[in-house]
Structure 1
Amino acid sequence: MLTSFIILALSAVFFINGKIRSDLVALCSLILLVIFNILTPEEALSGFSNNIVIMMIGLFVVGGAIFQTGLAKMISRKILELAGHNQLKLFILIMLVTAGIGAFVSNTGTVALMLPIVVSLAASAHSHPGRFLMPLAFASSMGGMMTLIGTPPNLVIQNTLTEAGYEPLSFFSFTPVGLICIAVGIIALIPLSKIFLSKNETDNQSKHNNGKSQKELIQEYQLMSNLFRVQITNDSHFNNKTLQNLDIARKYHINVLEIRRKPSNQRSFFQTIDQMTAGPETVVKNGDMFYVMGDYGQVEQFIKENHLELIDIHIPEGADIPDNIDLHDIGIAEILLMPSSKLINVPIKESGFREKFNINVLGIQRGGKYILQNLKDEKMHSGDAILVQGTWNNIARMSEDQSDWVVVGQPEAEAAKVTLDHKAPIAATIMLLMILAMVFDWVPAVIAVMVASVLMIFTGCLRNVEDAYRTINWESIVLIAAMLPMSMALEKTGASALISQNLVGSLGHWGPLALLAGIYFTTSLMTMVISNTATAVLLAPIAMQSAIGIGVSPYPFLFAVTVAASMCFASPFSTPPNALVMSAGKYSFIDYVKVGLPLQIIMGIIMIIVLPLLFPF
């Protein structure tokens, strides 16, 4: 038992530290349980064949098809447009639409879908998106409480009940709880967001439909102070050499954004280099104009060593070139890295942005700071906002891949484009049939999900099998598959029984309501430092044994676990949606405490009162 506690404690420490991926921590814990003979190899691997894990994989695929066909985007945009310019109506509709989508697909995917839409609509309502993005993240978690498949902790308590021989929950057993969560969330967040998030409001009246205007992004990232025009002279050894041979980025840590050969050309200031004509094989000629971005000292060294001429960026090349940056077909936008992105800890130079999308990276916003120098060697972090520059078509191409990033700041016409919209009715039909099969118990739930995910691929709602695999958050899958045997180890060694006996001994004599409160807030506290799925896996059997220990129904106690695990708002790192909106909303850690902690406490008090009424002791 002591060894199990030590392994669990070490896992918690590494979960909290966050420097090692949570799935890797869980796998290491699993290996240690086998090494110390607490679990057999068969028991340790049992989590990977568990129904919960298989259902989660299928649900990721189904959700990915719903997003890729544009079904959710089309529905949500149409509904949100009903708000017009009324901020209160927009706020309520954002909460309701997000919760509605989150009831059927992953909360992270829901936020990734809604985020660019909300940024655009917030701008049209003359409001800063920060007023809406934190409530958006919270609403996705509240919506997950509406159905059995809404969030992994719901599947965890279902599994705990069925393994203990209790009647399983139905698909909509969670709906009353979810509706109460959404109602409490809306009522509490209207004043909380107004008081604590309205500081982000700006009086800038020059908003565009793409959220932040191009001018605002340029000012925010201070692009003009780092942008220089450099002309190739007759004496420069650059003449008649290719850009690849010159290797400017590596030698001088500056970024060449554009080369112009004819100053009188009518092209826009920031036009992306066409790699077919001005790529690595482009031959530099006398008189060429380089637009470079970097630190002035590095640019100065670049000029001196290569006999170039610096031209003040405020002096136009010709009468037809304006002083400011004119962006029409060419633009700049922010992309937000998803918490599960494969680009996390990857240097910019290995990102493939230039090679795959013909996109330049201009800057990184991280925790309120802006990184503009030596970008090619800078590693990307979860939650980074990355400023990119390219044609709107290429930026729109990036938005098709929502597994690694979310594009914020496209023109509304581009953001509204859907690539597989003709498949939306098919995706809707498949998902509806899956839900009906689960509601009416035509087939086991896991079979319904598997059939639906395969049909999404065969009917072309996903382009191919590789696309289906990309929709799956493998970190979450491995985490839950590795944590399920951890709960088995705690039960096998008697650790769960010991914890539940202590809970019953300290709170049980006060009655089941006090014990319910103890389990709820223990789960709530644990979810603030480790993932909600891992918390639910560990505490569900403890809640079950505690209820049995005082001779009452386990249902309200298990619901307390799943609600408390899902309704964690006081930290940006407690759930992936909270982290995803942090950069876009310009939030600090204390913003989550000010808004999320009161909501978390209010939700807990309401749930402790309501759960015994819905599921009597």
Structure 2
Amino acid sequence: MTPEIITVMAILAFAVLLFIFEWVRVDVVGIIMMVLLPLLGLVTPKQAISGLSSNAVVSIIAVIIIGAGLDKTGVMNSMARIILRFAGKSETRIMTLIAGTVAFISGFMQNIGAAALFLPAAKRIGNQTGVPVPRLLMPMGFCAIIGGCLTLVGSSPLILLNDLMVVGGKHYDPFGLFGVTPIGVLLVVAALIYFAVFGRFILPSKSEEDQSGPMSSILAATYGGLGSLFELHVPEGWEGSRRLTALELRPIYFCTVVAIARDKGRTHLFAPGPDMDIKPGDDLVVVGPHEFAERMAEDLGWELRPELISFAEELSPNNAGIMEGIVTPRSELVGKTLATLHLRDRLQVSPLAIFRGEKIFISGLVDMVIRPGDALLLHGRWEMFHLLKDKPDLVFTEAVKGEILRTEKAKVALFWLAVSLVLILGLHIQLSIALLTGALGMVLTKVMTIDEAYQSVDWMTVFLLGGLIPLGMAFENTGAAKFIADTIMAALGTPSPLLLLTVIGILTSFFTLVASNVGATVLLVPLSMNMALNAGVDPRVAALTVAVAASNTFVLPTHQVNALIMRPGGYRTIDYVRSGAGMTVIYMVVMISALMFFY
């Protein structure tokens, strides 16, 4: 063991400690590796920063931009609707459908691409249904990695496999496109069962981005229970139609009607005015305290539904919520009443309360004269608030969520996605170039601006991976990887087929965590095939073991996909350890069992 090998092993241990104890953020760990490795002479300066321009990192940047373009045009909204139509609001069904779909797609394109494309849809579905986003993203990410084992073009190690199966000048029979499919199917099924059974125990229940209702925690501390959203159904037998003003819902029940659905849900009306009639068969959404909404339903003979049904999508946290706006001194609202301003008709937002001085006014709002400094609590769709924030009348106390969707550009966005896929699958253009083509096309055709493209990229992920790639190079440059592999292989002697495949699988899994899966595959396929020949085992099976085990990388956020979902899911390294440890063991058991049974 040379001093260089000892040094690189010490740096690996240091990096793992930084990941586990989180003394610094994970992207800072990547930057530390980029600086420390060349200073110690373990990699060249060029190699140290080469990760930032690597095919994997550039591909991640491009595919994130493509996913953002699809999201900004409403394509991901449509995808979310399709998934919810089949899965309903069951957490297990939603998780299974999203993860299973991503796994299938990963069998035919790079797993990072499949995960990045589905990331916006998974977040939207989680926010809309109330399922914590972290409970969806990690199963999706793990299944994206595993899905690469469904075909021989699903992951880089499997793509390389047939070219590497050469021992002593002899080329062994190549595997077909679906030669690995039995193993991949069993692994995906095992992963889905694992998360369905144990997900509630091993996955975090919330992240910093989670929002359980239409009102933020900051506003809830000021306005109490005013921000609860309820849907009520007016029975068909309800007598006649009555105007909202006549019902006096706000002065009696402190509830504000913010939306009405009628004609059996075909017509949706937002921010209805006080002269709107309530008719039998209508579905109403009100904002107010829960106990008063219950009393209102009981007094009027309406049905209080347990959740939003008619407005499950339009008024979900993805698309609508509550904002507080401060009236500016030069606002055109000053000196006027809400009745004369017609905010509901003009902007489709519903006033809920006015905070003036130390008092909160809930009823009698229409006749109050607006003063500078008044805080208006408003409910509406995010697109309306985005229009309001560009005017000088109100200053919002929080950043406006959501965005104005460019639905007219949806077909253009899908076209550029299709162009990227054709370049990858049809013309076999390098992944990064093909995806950059799609990303550039979206910018040039104004699906999104270049500033929006830059803002969509998670640079924490970029620097994390950019720093880990040279660590893998250091393992190969110093001979540490070969030293460890040779030492273990020599210690085995002449093992049984089961022991040999198990050791090969464990060794490959270890190298994949600390180095690139491609590097691990290139190093270990020849070694494992030679060991298999000495042990009387089919060398093709040994090579296949390496290629499949190269995807067994779950306990650290070092894989591209794990790094991608880390920030959106609000995950910490311990979350990967908690969820990935069991997945790693299950993966190994299922893989070895399938290899012994099918091959």
Hey, what does 1:505 align to over in structure 2? Answer: 490
Show the counterpart of 1:601. Answer: 585
State the partner residue of 1:137: 138
- Specify the alignment match of 1:182 in structure 2: 188
Tell me if structure 1 keeps the 8 A contact 2:156–2:518: no
Counterpart of 1:273 in 2: which secondary structure?
A: strand
Q: Deviations over 1:557-602 (max 9, x none)?
A: 4434442115879xxx96553664469xxx9979994x76544432
Does the Cα contact within 8 Å between 2:147 and 2:184 map onto a contact in 1? yes
Q: Alpha-carbon deviations, 1:254-308, whole Å to 9, x = none?
A: xxxxxxxxxxxx9x998622464489xx99xxxxx9949xxxxxxxxxxxxxxxx
Query: How does 1:464-479 map onto structure 2 within 5 Å?
Result: 464-479=449-464
Match of 2:565 among 565, 577, 580: 577
Q: 1:72 touches 1:101 (CA, 8 Å); kept in 2?
A: no
Give the partner amino acid of 1:20. Answer: V
Rounded to whole Å, the distance in 1 between the matches of 2:323 and 2:140 is 39
Do structure 1's residue 563 and structure 2's residue 551 form an aligned pair?
Answer: yes
The equivalent of 1:116 in structure 2 is 124
Q: Does 1:329 align with 2:317?
A: no
Residue 490 of structure 1 and its aligned partner are, at CA, apart by 2.0
Once the two structures are superposed, what CA deviation does each residue of 1:210-255 show, in whole Å capped at 9, x if it has no partner? Answer: 984458x76996555799xxxxxxxxxxxxxxxxxxxxxxxxxxxx
Alignment of 1:373-384 (within 5 A): none
Q: 1:431 aligns with which of 389, 402, 417?
A: 417
**Structural RMSD (CA):** 5.4
Partner residue, 2:324:
272
Q: Distance in 2 between matches of 1:536 and 1:198?
A: 26
Partner of 1:396: 402
Question: Aligned partners of 1:218, 1:198: CA distance in 2, in Å?
Answer: 23
Q: Which 10-residue stretch deviates more, 175-184 or 20-29?
A: 175-184
Matches of 1:517 and 1:61, distance apart in 2: 40
Flag the 1:34–1:218 CA change in 2: closer, same or farther, 3 A.
Answer: closer
Q: Which residue of 1 aligns with 2:45?
A: 41
SS where residue 565 of structure 1 aligns? coil
Counterpart CA distance in 2 for 1:212 and 1:162 is 51
**Residues 136 and 534 (structure 1), Cα distance of their counterparts in 2 relative to 1, 3 Å cut:** same
Offset of 1:138 from its aligned partner?
A: 0.6
1:191 Cα deviation after fit: 3.5
Aligned to 1:410: none
Displacement after TM superposition at 1:425 (Å): 2.2
Within 1, Cα distance between the matches of 2:470 and 2:49?
8
In the alignment, the residues of structure 1 paired with residue 150 and residue 455 of structure 2 have an alpha-carbon distance, to the nearest angstrom, of 20
Matching residue of 1:547:
528
How far apart are residue 140 of structure 1 and its match? 3.4
| CA distance in structure 2 between the aligned counterparts of 1:18 and 1:157, rounded to whole angstroms | 33
Matches within 5 A, 1:262-341: 272-274=324-326, 276-277=328-329, 291=355, 329=379
Which runs of structure 2 are paired with 1:508-523 in the superposition (5 Å)? 509-511=494-496, 513-518=498-503, 520-521=505-506
Alpha-carbon distance in structure 1 between the residues aligned to 2:35 and 2:587 = 37
SS in 2 for 1:20: coil
Indicate whether 1:14 and 2:18 are aligned: yes
Name the structure 1 match of 2:338: none
1:57 shift after superposition: 3.3
Aligned partner of 1:68 among 65, 69, 72 = 72
Contact 1:526-1:535 within 8 A present in 2 as well:
yes
Supply the AA of the counterpart residue of 1:577.
I
Q: Which secondary structure state, in structure 2, belongs to the residue aligned with residue 272 of structure 1?
A: strand
CA contact under 8 A between 1:142 and 1:182: conserved in structure 2?
A: yes
Post-superposition shift, 1:493?
1.9
Q: Which amino acid aligns with 2:424?
A: M
* 1:63 Cα deviation after fit: 2.9
CA distance in 2, matches of 1:319, 1:524: 67
Equivalent residue for 1:360? 397
Which whole-Å CA distance do the structure 1 matches of 2:155 and 2:203 have between them? Answer: 34
Structure 2 residue ranges without an equivalent (≥5) = 227-273, 275-286, 289-321, 336-352, 367-374, 383-388, 533-538
Which whole-Å CA distance do the structure 2 matches of 1:591 and 1:9 have between them? 17
Map 1:476-491 onto structure 2 (within 5 A): 476-491=461-476
Q: 1:466 to 1:537 in 2, by over 3 A?
A: farther
Alignment size in residue pairs:
446
In the superposition, the TM-score normalised over structure 1's length comes to 0.56
Q: Distance in 1 between matches of 2:84 and 2:595?
A: 32
Partner of 1:459: 445
The letter of the residue matching 1:469 is Y
Q: Secondary structure of 1:563's partner?
A: coil
Amino acid at match of 1:547: S
Deviation at 1:499, TM superposition (A): 0.9
Q: Cα deviation per residue 1:57-86 (whole Å; 9 max; x = unaligned)? A: 333333332333332331232232234466
For residues 523 and 353 of structure 1, the distance between their equivalents in structure 2, rounded to whole angstroms, comes to 55
> What residue is the counterpart of 2:8 in the other structure?
4
Match of 2:81 in 1: 77
TM-score by length of 2: 0.58
User: Displacement, 1:142?
Assistant: 0.5
**Matching of residue 450 in structure 1 with residue 436 in structure 2:** yes
Aligned AA for 2:124? P
Q: 1:432 to 1:105 in 2, by over 3 A?
A: same
Query: Structure 1 regions of 5+ residues with no counterpart?
Result: 123-128, 201-209, 228-265, 284-288, 293-308, 333-351, 362-387, 389-393, 401-418
Q: Alpha-carbon deviations, 1:142-200, whole Å to 9, x = none?
A: 134435999xx944776899799999999988876654433223334334357x59998
**2:29 aligns to what?**
25
**Amino acid aligned to 1:8:** L
Structure 1 residues 492 and 190: CA distance shift in structure 2, 3 A = closer
Larger Rg: 2
User: Partners of 2:516 and 2:493 in 1: how far apart?
Assistant: 22
> Amino acid of the residue matched to residue 448 of structure 1?
A
Residue 500 of structure 1, CA deviation: 0.6
Indicate the SS of the match to 1:329. strand
Quick one: structure 1 residues 504 and 16, their matched pair in 2 at CA, closer, same or farther if it must change by over 3 Å? same
Question: Contact 1:47–1:480 at 8 Å: present in 2 too?
Answer: yes
Report the 3-state secondary structure (helix = DSSP H, G, I; strand = E; otherwise coil) of the residue aligned with 2:24: coil
Aligned residue for 2:426? 440
* Cα deviation code 1:503-560 (max 9, x no counterpart): 3134464346434434544676798xxxx68664775555446425525457434434
Compute the displacement of 1:37 (Å). 3.0
Cα 1:111–1:611 change in 2 (3 A) is farther
